Structure 1
Amino acid sequence: MNASHISEKELVAIILYISLFFIIVAVALIIFFYFSRKKIIQKELEKIDLILRYQKEQLHAIIVTQEEERKRIAQDLHDDISSKLNIVSLNSHLLTAPNLTEAETAEITENIIALTTKALDNSRKIAHNLLPPVFEKFGLSAGIEELCGEFESSKSVKTHYENKIDFDEKEIDRHLHVFRILQELMNNSIRHGKASEIWISFANIDGINTCDYKDNGVGFDSSNDENQKGLGMKNIDSRISFLQGTIEISSEINNGIVVNFTF
């Protein structure tokens, strides 16, 4: 009987120890999952914070770019339109002066016509820069062709353009971002790169629209991040983000620039 009684005690003890062991394991697992979950949530919050900061930087870049664009348009309007219209106004008042000879009247009228023609041409250029009519009417490819033609005629640069994509005209709003990216890159190639040749090509690779851009300019050290932090590049990055695309830039000093972006 005694042996049987001790055996039952041992059995109870074993059950208690096993129960205690499982309770400790359960508590340990709860603590582990709690801290793991907390760590995951913290990482998710850090990721969200990083995304928000990136979006904030993008928004700031867009606002700054818009302000710069507004300043440029205001300057163009002041220099090219307002100044000429002021002179037209002065010449118009001269026509009201008494005792004007026929030759003087003809000269003043000629000045008014010439200045008005220049003001009209300049207003068309400003409107064209805001949204090229060819782009709006015929789409991205036609807009790029015209852009290349303009650079060739006014900037003494040779352009090579090739397109293998049939662009959907319904996506014109997205295509405007692509147009502005290329406009910015071409301006940089001329202004900073002193390039004499530019190559642009569009292709669809594995279902992804891709643009390859390169020039033969002076280039820069692309391994130095500071060289890619200008306002123009921030503007390009913002547009790439809107297009949910990617961009890769490589360049070497005296060896031009190569840009590949998707959209």
Structure 2
Amino acid sequence: MAESNVEHPELLMVCKINSSFNNIKKTCPAIKEALSFSVDSFEFTHAGLILYINNKQTACLQVSRKGLCEKQPATGNFYKKYMEQFGASHNPAERMASLQPSSFTTIPVILRACDPASKMEIGVFSASPATAQNYLNKATSLGIHIINIIQDSVFGRQKDRNLRKLSILLETVGTISSSLNLNQILHIVSQITADLFHARCAIFLFNETDQTIIPAVGVGSFDKKLKKKFRAQKGLAPYPAFIKAMRDQQPVMLTPDNIEKGFPPEIIKNFSYARVLLIPLISKNNMLGIMQVDRPAQDKQFDHEEVAIFSAIAKETSIAMENTRLVDTLAKKEKLLQQLLEKLICAQEDERKRVASEIHDGAIQALLGIWYRVQLLAISTSADDNNKNELFKIQDLLGQQIQEIRRIVYNLRPVMLDTYGLGPALRALIRTLQEESQIDFELVMKNQKQSLPANFELTLYRIVQELLANVIKHSQATRVHVTLANDENNTVLVVKDNGIGFNLTPPSRDDLYGHLGLANIQERLTLLGGTFKIDSQLGWGTTVTVYVPTPLAN
């Protein structure tokens, strides 16, 4: 039973390089080794790489749990599906997304400053929603490592290695700027740093409550046993070297001569620390964490140039981390505002329902009583002709007012929507508007077998009501076509008229939705996660299209 819950994630990477690159045969063994590491360490069932150079397929590599095979992918995985669907050519459009991966990202590839932009598409398949992002973070780290292998083969022939270092910095800025996922950013930065310095790299964050250590990412030569020890540091107090880096806000360099002053003996032993460079991650004088690289004792010490480069990477990482926190804070505030807006609209609808009920049960019933009494007086034989005529006029006037109040009550809260659902309510609405406006309305409803939540139907009804009110008020149309179609994924509403139309202008800050009063529609769509667009041209009518994700019925 437990075996059925085991995931078998698959990894597919498609690297598209728009530069001259002739060392692919020499580079493939290192790439194969990196892919093998992914199935052993990251627990992918299959991992594949398809490499295109100047839109021509150059290499197809595949690794599976059972071994390595080239140009013969395992049956049924997404490597094979990609090859069957797209063949040897690669269109600039991102085709990975069409295979519907569990998670997906794109990272830039920088080889030469003046070359066209290159990229790597990374897709994780057969992973659950709960684990897909975690697998993608690992896959992104692997993708960065493979890109660095390719870059090393390009820059290795050059005498001036400064260009390689500049490329690394550009790659760091480009990749972390393209993501707002904190874990993905940390994986990318760690892998780039480890490859650049030929060292292990780790990033430690601090718990905001008690300032204990949170080991976020460790790459390089962290095997499975070391990874367990790495994660076991969570909750420990900051080490002396961390405290010094935070206090001074400066890099801290440790050597075999002073390593014991920076770390506890068991940590030195567990990770074989000898030469360690620590850089604080700082944003607006707030300590976010520590970036660390380390080398064994037999390797050279970190020089001043490496410290400067590492500091620059740490600075960019701090900015990216702060940006993700700001975006996260804004997202939380937006969610809170959305919840407040939802409560406000729900309260508004509840109040409408209450007012409609009170008018129906109070004012309308009282007017009906008066109407019946006037009717009795009008048919009374004791009344003279003049009085009868006056009573008949009063009866007609009361009847008109009762109908008008009933119309107002229906607009406040459509009883038919609550009783029979969206379809009959829309038909009744359009029938009423056609009688009142003399506009020829046509309603087409497709795929309405699926049951929808009551609040979703109410919101759609209000949107249609608002759009048709705009048509009647502004368009001077004689024909209006309304289409509502929904499936298990999306609901699409289209309102098209043959009216006078208008020239679309960019929205202003003061009136984002123009003179048509579409703000209410936007507010309601925000609650449903939907969007809308307007197509109009002066003299050619207007079409408003609304897209909303279809929810599951309660």
TM-score by length of 2: 0.35
In 2, Cα distance between equivalents of 1:231 and 1:218: 14
The reply on whether 1:249 has 2:534 as its aligned counterpart is yes
2-side partners of 1:126 and 1:196: how far apart?
25
Aligned AA (1:203): A
State the match for 1:175 in structure 2: 457
Q: After alignment, is 237-246 or 196-205 more displaced? A: 196-205
- SS across alignment from 2:438: coil
**Equivalent residue of 2:486, what SS?**
strand
Indicate the structure whose relative CO is greater, using CA pairs within 8 Å and at least 6 residues apart: 1
Paired with 1:189 and 1:55, the residues of 2 have a C-alpha distance of 33
Contact 2:448–2:486 under 8 Å retained in 1: no
Query: Could you tell me whether the CA contact under 8 Å between 2:477 and 2:498 is conserved in 1?
Result: yes
Once the two structures are TM-superposed, the CA of residue 32 in structure 1 deviates from its matched residue by: 2.5
1:133-176 deviation line (CA, Å, top 9, x unaligned): 22221111111111111121110101111111225555121111
Partner of 2:314: 33
User: Equivalents in 1 of 2:536, 2:333: separation in Å?
Assistant: 30
Matched, 1:204 2:486: yes
Q: Any conservation in 1 of the 2:450–2:487 contact (CA below 8 Å)?
A: no
Q: Aligned Cα RMSD in Å?
A: 4.1
2-side partners of 1:137 and 1:53: how far apart? Answer: 34
Is 2:475 the partner of 1:190?
Answer: no
Aligned residue number for residue 71 of structure 2: none
Q: 1:121 aligns with which of 395, 403, 425?
A: 403
Distance 1:54 1:255 in 2: 39
Change (3 A) 1:142 1:17: closer
Supply the distance in 1 between the matched residues of 2:532 and 2:519 (Cα, whole angstroms).
12
Equivalences for 1:149-164 in 2 at 5 Å?
149-164=431-446
Question: Which one-letter code corresponds to 2:410 in the other structure?
Answer: H
CA distance in 1, matches of 2:327, 2:298: 44
Q: Distance in 2 between matches of 1:183 and 1:256?
A: 19
Query: Per-residue CA shift, 1:222-249, capped at 9, x if unaligned?
Result: 2442583347211111111111112111
C-alpha separation in 2, matches of 1:32 and 1:16: 25
Residues paired across the two proteins, number? 226
Larger mean CA deviation between 111-120 and 23-32 belongs to 23-32
State the secondary structure of the residue aligned to 2:538: coil
> For the structure 1 residues 53 and 258, does the alpha-carbon distance in structure 2 shift closer, same or farther, using more than 3 Å as the test?
same
What is the aligned partner in structure 1 of residue 414 from structure 2?
132
Q: Distance in 2 between matches of 1:52 and 1:219?
A: 37
The reply to whether residue 260 of structure 1 matches residue 541 of structure 2 is: no
Measure the CA separation in 2 of the matches of 1:153 and 1:169.
Answer: 30
Instruction: Give the AA of the match of 2:490.
Output: I
% identical aligned pairs: 22
Q: Is the 8 A contact 2:470 2:516 kept in 1?
A: no
* Residue 29 of structure 1: how far off its partner (Å): 2.6
Residues 1-49 of structure 1 deviation map (CA, whole Å, 9 limit, x = unaligned): xxxxxxxxxxxxxx8993242x863675356224423333235415744
User: Is the contact between residue 139 and residue 169 of structure 1 (CA under 8 Å) also seen in structure 2?
Assistant: no
Separation in 1, partners of 2:543, 2:335? 25
Moved more, 216-225 or 243-252: 216-225
Determine if contact 2:480/2:495 at 8 Å carries over to the other structure. yes
Deviation at 1:184, TM superposition (A): 1.1
SS at match of 2:503: coil
Determine the C-alpha separation between the residues in 1 that align with 2:423 and 2:533.
22
Deviation at 1:189, TM superposition (A): 1.1
In the alignment, structure 1 residue 232 sits paired with structure 2 residue 517: yes
In 2: Cα distance, 1:242 partner to 1:151 partner: 27
Higher percent of residues as strand? 2
Unaligned 5+ residue runs, structure 1? 1-14, 96-100
Structure 2: where are the runs of 5+ without partners? 1-296, 549-554
Distance 1:261 1:51, change over 3 A: farther
Q: In structure 1, how many angstroms separate the alpha carbons of the residues matched to 2:334 and 2:469?
A: 29
Q: Tell me if the contact between 1:220 and 1:253 (Cα under 8 Å) persists in the aligned partners.
A: yes
Separation (CA, whole Å) in 2 of partners of 1:252 and 1:47: 39
Distance 1:40 1:257, change over 3 A: farther
TM-score by length of 1: 0.68
Give me the whole-angstrom Cα distance separating, in 2, the residues matched to 1:156 and 1:142.
21
Q: State the 1:219 CA deviation.
A: 0.6
Deviations 1:33-84 (A, max 9, x none): 244233332354157448847986995xx78xx7xx99xx9xxx9xxx89xx
